[in-house]
Structure 1
Amino acid sequence: MAEHIPARPSWRCRDCGANWPCQPAKLALQREYEGHSLALMLYLMACLYDLLADSESIGVKPDVEQSISRVVGWAIDGPLRVLRTLTQGR
């Protein structure tokens, strides 16, 4: 089975060459973190930090908003749903 992990510092998938997280990586992360959406968000935020730092280290000025959307945006609905559920009774 192919591993769709980021190649650093480019943050392209080592297997398919797409921007990471590619679609197969997103599916694998969803399976791995099923039921633990806040943990997934923490992991993705750490990845975002590394992507931004890697970009700067190779002299590329990263587009922060685009990077947030790419790395974190696809997974944000789960944690927001959890937070809404936790705060409904307040």
Structure 2
Amino acid sequence: MTAPKPDQQPLHGLHPVHQHLPRRPSWLCRVCAATWPCACARMLLRVEYGTDRVALSIYMANQLFDATADLLTLNPQPAPDPRELFDRFLAWTAQPRP
């Protein structure tokens, strides 16, 4: 039996399903490698914040700010598309749950 890779180790005692967190500075999901927030991360965040969409939006706006800085540093030309980043980080927070 081989030891799990560091990326597969539980983070801070979290169950593996709750580890859909961003890998900085690329802002890809640590688990599924999709752009973060991936579908699982969005679902987990909606559950965590419940009906408090304002708090979720504020949290995600902060993530957008950090991601923009990281992604601009990684790829200044062409710069990340602001509309795409807004849709990725914030637009979904105002939508009702499916």
State the TM-score, normalizing by the size of structure 2: 0.74
Runs of 4+ in 1 over 3 A off after TM superposition: none
SS in 2 for 1:26: helix
Match of 1:75 in 2: 93
| Structure 2 unmatched ranges of 5 or more | 1-14
Residue type of the partner of 1:16? C
Number of aligned residue pairs: 78
Mapped pair 1:12 → 2:24: no
Mapped pair 1:40 → 2:56: yes
Residue type of the partner of 2:46? Q
Aligned-pair CA distance for 1:4: 0.1
Residue type of the partner of 1:77? Q
Aligned-pair CA distance for 1:45: 0.2
Match of 2:6 in 1: none
Q: Aligned Cα RMSD in Å?
A: 1.2
State the TM-score, normalizing by the size of structure 1: 0.81
Identical aligned residues as a percent = 36
Higher-helix-fraction structure = 1
Q: Please give the alpha-carbon distance, in whole angstroms, between the structure 1 residues aligned to 2:95 and 2:31.
A: 27
Mapped pair 1:63 → 2:92: no
Q: Please give the alpha-carbon distance, in whole angstroms, between the structure 1 residues aligned to 2:39 and 2:75.
A: 27
| Structure 1 unmatched ranges of 5 or more | 79-90
